[in-house]
Amino acid sequence: MQRNRELKKVFVIYITALAALLLFSFPDVSAQKKDSTFIPLEGGQITGVKEKKTVSDIYHSPRKAALYSAVFPGLGQVYNRKYWKVPIVYAGFATLGYFVYFNNSHYVSYRDAYLDFTDNDPGTTSYFSIISKDVDPKTYAGELYPSTYNKQNSDWMEQQLKDGMQFYKRNRDLSLIGMAGWYILTILDAVVDAQLFHFDVAPDLSMRILPAVRPVQGLQAAGGITCSITF
């Protein structure tokens, strides 16, 4: 049982690390924004320059990212061009899948052993593969050794088999829940990345002083300087 507890701790730590890596890879919402008062002068007229959005800026769809990720896990990350996240997605599923298989196989072994131990049939002895060989069957197997077994030892062994069965069943169910949670997390990750796909997150903080022209009352334009801050 001590080994099972250690294995469970490793499982929790591993999945937590994968989830943290996926979550903390979300783009930073403190995006770069440019605030500038520079005004170019064209043909004696003061004009403003507006940035035009491209078709890809408008139509990168979070809905598509969610759908792709739901239909085929990892495809939403590919759609968002976050290719490096795909191995993380499948590492999480592979790990959880392994623990589902591991716990289910042990649950089945303990279940069969428990049923064989309690059916009073001398021909069903699968519990020998579970119980340590250092323990003499003559002390607990009443259906095989009715004259030498100890009732207290038999009851204790039965309880151990039952506890092991319930332990692995619970861990199997938790692993299945974890897999469902991981599936939902990968979809949320794809949606967030899609929403922030064109969000400029460059860590640039700078200030530029440039010559500029400004309108002055009674005059067409006047020379001056402008301060441009990027943050």
In tens digits, the chain (231 residues) has pLDDT values of 555 566 666 556 666 665 665 555 544 444 444 444 444 444 444 444 445 555 555 568 899 999 999 999 999 999 999 999 999 999 999 999 999 999 999 999 999 999 999 988 888 889 998 988 888 998 998 888 888 989 999 999 999 999 999 999 999 999 999 999 999 999 999 999 998 887 765 555 566 666 766 666 655 666 666 666 665
Q: Global pTM?
A: 0.64
User: 15: closest CA among 87, 69, 95?
Assistant: 95
Q: 3-state SS string over 41-100?
A: EECCEECCCCCCCCHHHHHCCHHHHHHHHHHCCCHHHHHCCCHHHHHHHHHHHHHHHHHH
Q: With beta carbons less than 8 A apart as the criterion, state whether 69 and 207 touch.
A: no
